[in-house]
Amino acid sequence: MEYTVEQLNFFRICYIVFDLIPKSLRSVFKSEWDIRYKGSFGEWKDTTQNGSDFFNSESKKSRSKNARLLTTIKNGNTAEWDCSCFFFAILFSDSIGTTLSRLVRTNVNDLREFRNYIAHITEAKFTDAEFHNSIGRVLVDFSSMGLPISDIEEVKNQTSFPTSEVNRLMALLNNLQEELKRAKSNFHASEEQVRKLTFDLQQAEDTILREQEQIQCLSDEINSRAVSFCHLPFKPSHQIVKRTNDVSRILTQMQKLEDGCKGVVSTVYLSGSPGCGKSQIARQIGQEFFRTSSDESDGLTFVATVNAETLETLVDSYITLAKQLGVTEYTLTQLATSKDSSPKETIHHLKSLIFPKMRQFFKWLIIADNVEDLSMVLGYLPQTASEECGHGQILITTQDTSAIPTSAPQTYHESLSVGMQSEDALELLKQVSQISNHKRAEEVVEVLEFQPLALAAAAFYVCVVVRHGSPNYTWHDYLETFSRGEREGTEEPLAKENGAYSKTMTTAVKMALNNASKNDEILRQTFYLLSLCASESLPIEAAVSFVKARTATSTKETHERPTKELIKAKILKSSLITCLRGDDKVPEYFKMHQIVHEVLKATRITHPETRKALPDAIRSLHQVLLSEYDQLFTNGHACVKLRRVTSHCKALHDVLSTMLANRGDLVKTLASSNTSASIAAWLSITATVCCDLSNPSDAILFSTSACAFIEYMSNTKETEKLKADILAVHGRVLTLQCQYELSLLFLEESTNISIAVYGKEHATVAGCYNNLGNVSRKLGDYSEAKVYYKKALNITKKIYGEEHPNLATSYNNMGVVYSDLRRHHEAKEYYEKAVIIAQKIYGEEHADTARTYNNLGNVHNDLQQYDRAMAYHKEALKIRKKIYGEEHADVAGSYNNLGNVYRNLGEYVQAKQCHVMALKIRQKVYGEGHMKVATSYHNLNIIYRDSSLQSKVKSNICSLL
């Protein structure tokens, strides 16, 4: 049977009505349901629960009236619904129909009326006009509701209706076509044979012609004469400064290297971070090398530059060098055609042409510039210690330090990461910016860390804005722009202008970081750690511990894991890393330039690996805190290290807080892992260290966060000990904040837990009593404080006997409370007992010894024995400054106490100097509104009053007191 076009039109309309429209209605229904009930009943997922929620949302009247439809709808599976179900659910149901938008209602209702019209047609035919009108009606409805119309368009444009009979005929047609192809193929094979014979003939003729050209080429080469030449790296578009000292130093090393090599090739490596001026130093070295070599001898000399960024650029550079050395154009033209398809073979061929010709020259220098992959490039350069190329040197500039040999003969390596010398940097700013006034220029140089590209970009930017619209723009304005984080914008003008180097400093740094991360797992992990930390220097052992932990999880086999020594070596070898050495020249810390660190944080802080790296970063810093804490009170090195580590801990805490919505989420996320106790311990020890370093603002941050973990901890004995410690530390921090009553609550809870865990006679409990005594003193309850201190003293004596640091602490505390009670002779006896123990255990240079000297100074001052008081306070100040430096609360305390002694001696000028020093330190440590600051103001007021000085005391003294 054959169907007419009108019947086929009808069939297509039926397909749209009974297949495509229900599918689209299903989409409309789900969308309308989710808009209304996703937040309450949940998203429509064709579940029985969905159907039940819909049914229950209908009124009794609706359930009764539409029982047949609701029976199907109640199952929830919209794939089983017909158009009637969808039209009811969308247009007439209580749950959706009553709140339906006018647009959706109009278009869905139109589809309903169209469906009904089709269902009641008596003759299964549609003219073309009727078909297109109907299709148009549906398309309008679909488009208005944003529904896809591609399927409808496909049906509309369908022109054929294949059947099995048509398919059989098509198969026969295909067979006939294949036979025709085979016949054509046989014909073409004959034609191809004829063409091949013609081609072979042409090849023979070309070979004869080529050989004739080669004969001419050899004749030209024999008759050519070598000449000296100097081809240097590109010069930037802006003014450059001669880095005379740097160039002279490196040339001296190159000469020493040459003298020791006795005619063989030597290699010099200049490494450094992006923008440190490697290429321009190489350019200046090349200029000076050519000048001095030409002056010293009549022999031939050349300086050549090859761009060794990639194999392709190296091929082009070698072709240029070959031309300069006299290799004929014909030979090079032949090689140039093959360089893209086989660059390695082309380079080897070029070497065979170039290297023999280099022997004609008395001296030569090849600058291999911009080497990205040193291991790859080295094999294509004249080899170190080789004799085949004559008497010359290779100068390589690279960021890739991984393949630079260490202390190898015939080589010299210098890192330029430190940047320019100060005088050169200032001169560069002056020449490029054309601003002769150096006001604040030195600050710009320091902020940009002496890096030539950064300095040139800054100077060029200032020059541009001064010339075009902002004539009063100064270095002060630039520093403000820089501080707002707009650095990358200031780099753009130079990058667009500079043909020699079109990358901004920021872009170059990003590329360097990506390359280093891609090629070395140790550096990749180190960068993750640095992206989490602050910008200042980091102890090397923290990075080694972190990388060791990270590589242990990613490497299954133990023998494949890098050793600590190898990790350390790879980190310190990177051109992106700056190593800081101690007094003994041993590497202690490392850091990145500020811009490198900024780019690293910006690109890595959102990386998924960063969140995974956080626990290991915390553990590595925690280990350093624990290992160095015991040394905090004995030497200044530990104090410096712990200050740096706490700044990194602060950065980690900031990262955690930023990554998660609020502290509750932070605590729950970390507490849900097995590391919650260790993280709480890290927070607590960091708070303790901050207290001891006189950093109360950070201490309260860490101790508060540590307390937030307590409710998520289990109730084991070990966690109870940790809870007690956390509460004690937080109480101590609150004491520093002068929140004494709140501090007392935390310390009492800590004491109760400690007694329950350890029993009443334990060193930890004795420590709790000392803490309670300290707060009681601050609250003015000296009798209560004395009771607590006495309990601590008795427990300590019972446990340790007469010679123990804790006993010295108890004696000091007893002395302090007796001083508070004005019983100075008894206080002095306790202090003298404490000093004997401290001197015997610690020696002279320890914080506890200094504390006892300080207390003895106070009691002698109270006893009006001012000379002895002065001696003790000076000794205490000397020890404290050596351990803590100038900015520490204990140092401020010593200045304050010395000021009191000077005042009692009537030496008001010295007294004022000491109290001013104490005030400055306390303001920095505590902030303006702290009791210790008020005390310093009060002491200065007394000096002004007693000395009849007519100076005016700050207006806020009264309010502070």
Cβ count within 10 A of residue 622: 21
Strands 411-415, 266-271: pairing is parallel
CA atoms of 451 and 458, how far apart (whole Å): 11
CA atoms of 143 and 391, how far apart (whole Å): 80
| 32 located within any domain | yes
| 470 located within any domain | yes
Q: Tell me, yes or no, whether 327 and 386 share the same domain.
A: yes
pLDDT given for residue 898 in this prediction:
94
What are the start-end ranges of the E strands in 825-895? none
CATH number of the domain to which 280 belongs: 3.40.50.300
Reference 282, options 318, 251, 239; nearest CA is 251
Q: Which of 382, 397, 415 is the last residue of a domain?
A: 415
pLDDT given for residue 950 in this prediction:
39
CA atoms of 164 and 157, how far apart (whole Å): 22
- Which residue intervals of 19-79 are DSSP H helices? 21-37, 48-57, 60-65, 67-73
Q: Tell me, yes or no, whether 294 and 276 share the same domain.
A: yes
CATH number of the domain to which 803 belongs: 1.25.40.10
Burial of 382 (0-12, 13-18, 19+ CB in 10 A): buried
Q: Tell me, yes or no, whether 285 and 411 share the same domain.
A: yes
pLDDT given for residue 288 in this prediction:
92
CA atoms of 441 and 477, how far apart (whole Å): 11
| Run means of pLDDT, 10 residues per run, the chain, 961 residues | 82 88 92 91 92 91 91 91 91 91 92 88 86 91 91 84 53 56 68 78 77 60 73 83 92 90 89 89 93 86 92 88 83 70 84 89 92 88 88 91 82 90 89 80 88 89 89 88 86 78 80 86 92 92 93 67 89 88 85 89 76 87 92 83 93 80 55 70 94 90 90 85 94 92 94 93 93 93 93 92 89 91 92 90 88 91 91 91 88 92 90 92 85 90 73 46 45
Residue 269, beta-bridge partner list: 396, 413
Domain count of the fold of the chain: 6
Residue 270, beta-bridge partner list: 397, 414
- Which residue intervals of 224-277 are DSSP H helices? 244-261
CA atoms of 397 and 404, how far apart (whole Å): 11
Burial of 302 (0-12, 13-18, 19+ CB in 10 A): buried
| 457 located within any domain | yes
Q: Determine contact, residues 792/761, Cβ cutoff 8 Å.
A: no
Reported for 907-913, long-range contacts at CB under 8 A and 24+ positions apart, including other chains, are 908/943, 908/946, 908/947, 908/949, 911/943, 912/940, 912/943, 912/947
Q: Tell me, yes or no, whether 460 and 490 share the same domain.
A: yes
Q: What is the dihedral of CA 613, 618, 623, 625, to 10 degrees?
A: 150
User: Residue type for 451, please?
Assistant: Q
pLDDT given for residue 952 in this prediction:
45
Distance (Å) of CA 335 to CA 126, 210, 310, 321, 594: 72, 14, 18, 14, 46
Reference 394, options 557, 524, 285; nearest CA is 285
Cβ count within 10 A of residue 116: 12
Q: Determine contact, residues 526/547, Cβ cutoff 8 Å.
A: yes
Cβ count within 10 A of residue 907: 17
Q: Determine contact, residues 62/94, Cβ cutoff 8 Å.
A: yes
Q: Determine the structural domain holding residue 481 and report its residue range.
A: 422-519
Residue 367, beta-bridge partner list: 305, 395
Q: Which of 787, 807, 842 is the last residue of a domain?
A: 842
Q: Tell me, yes or no, whether 389 and 478 share the same domain.
A: no
CA atoms of 812 and 796, how far apart (whole Å): 13
Q: Tell me, yes or no, whether 143 and 170 share the same domain.
A: no
Residue 266, beta-bridge partner list: 393
Q: Tell me, yes or no, whether 498 and 401 share the same domain.
A: no
Q: Tell me, yes or no, whether 212 and 236 share the same domain.
A: no
Q: Tell me, yes or no, whether 11 and 110 share the same domain.
A: yes
DSSP 366: E
| 242 located within any domain | yes
682 Cα distance to chain centroid = 22
Strands 538-539, 587-591: pairing is antiparallel
Q: Which of 139, 157, 175 is the last residue of a domain?
A: 157
| 711 located within any domain | no
CA atoms of 346 and 322, how far apart (whole Å): 12
Distance (Å) of CA 915 to CA 684, 692, 694, 877, 908: 33, 22, 18, 13, 10
Q: Tell me, yes or no, whether 259 and 392 share the same domain.
A: yes
CA atoms of 820 and 782, how far apart (whole Å): 7
DSSP 776: H
Distance (Å) of CA 25 to CA 71, 97, 463, 471, 660: 19, 14, 65, 67, 41
Residue 940, SS3? Answer: helix
Q: Determine contact, residues 579/595, Cβ cutoff 8 Å.
A: no
| 202 located within any domain | yes
pLDDT given for residue 442 in this prediction:
87
Dmax of the chain from CA atoms?
129
| 598 located within any domain | no
Cβ count within 10 A of residue 905: 15
Residue 415, beta-bridge partner list: 271
User: Residue type for 143, please?
Assistant: S
Phi, psi of 574 (to 5 degrees): -65, 140
| 743 located within any domain | no
pLDDT given for residue 961 in this prediction:
45
Stated pTM of the model:
0.67
CA atoms of 572 and 885, how far apart (whole Å): 28
Q: Tell me, yes or no, whether 827 and 945 share the same domain.
A: no
CA atoms of 704 and 729, how far apart (whole Å): 10
Q: Determine contact, residues 735/775, Cβ cutoff 8 Å.
A: yes
Place of tokens 């989710």: 34
Q: Tell me, yes or no, whether 865 and 837 share the same domain.
A: no
Q: Two tokens at 143?
A: 């488009």
